Amino acid sequence: MVLVVRGELRLTAGKAAVQVAHAAVLLALSARARERSTLARWEAEGQKKIAVVAESLAEMQGIERKARSLGVPTVFVEDAGLTEVPPGTRTVLGLGPARASEIDRLTGSLPLL
């Protein structure tokens, strides 16, 4: 799993952590409903999660389009707007669980959070 944080928002560390957690939970629940074997493999391999930063929403949307074309599961986290950003703001793009080789093609050049 890779969690792509929207850098232009300049979220506080705590806010970014919570948004990343939302994405990981959403991806895991989706994998459980869609493909239990993929979820089981991810769990058996230690539930790897990596957080990276994209410069903008446009960059994240480009990554999402490429991911979907490759069959990599995606989810966008949209904030409720109770603290740092307006309601509906897309804060994190989650990818996976999927093989590292698939996700690295999409996010391997992004800096770690």
Work out the pLDDT band at 111, boundaries 50, 70, 90: very high
**Nearest of 67, 112, 69, 113 to residue 94 by alpha carbon:** 67
**Nearest of 63, 75, 90, 80 to residue 28 by alpha carbon:** 75
Could you report the per-residue pLDDT of 4-20, keeping only the tens digit for each? 999 999 999 999 999 99
Residue 62 placed within a domain:
yes
The one-character DSSP state at 111 is P
**pTM of this prediction exceeds 0.75:** yes
Tell me how far CA of residue 74 lies from CA of 12, 14, 70, 82, 84, in angstroms.
Answer: 24, 23, 11, 24, 24
Could you report the per-residue pLDDT of 57-96, keeping only the tens digit for each? 999 999 999 999 999 999 999 999 999 999 999 999 999 9
Residue 113 placed within a domain:
no
Q: Cα–Cα distance between 27 and 95 in angstroms, integer?
A: 7
pLDDT at res. 16:
97
Q: How many domains does the chain have?
A: 1
Residue 86 sits in a domain of what CATH number?
A: 3.40.1490.10
**Nearest of 104, 82, 66, 72 to residue 19 by alpha carbon:** 82
pLDDT at res. 105:
93
Instruction: Using the predicted structure, report yes or no on whether residue 37 has a pLDDT greater than 90.
Output: no
- Mean pLDDT in residue range 32-41: 88
> Would you state the structure tokens that stand for residue 84, as one six-digit string?
């740092």
Instruction: Using the predicted structure, report yes or no on whether residue 34 has a pLDDT greater than 90.
Output: no
Instruction: Using the predicted structure, report yes or no on whether residue 36 has a pLDDT greater than 90.
Output: no
Query: What is the span of the domain harbouring residue 64?
Result: 2-107
pLDDT at res. 38:
87
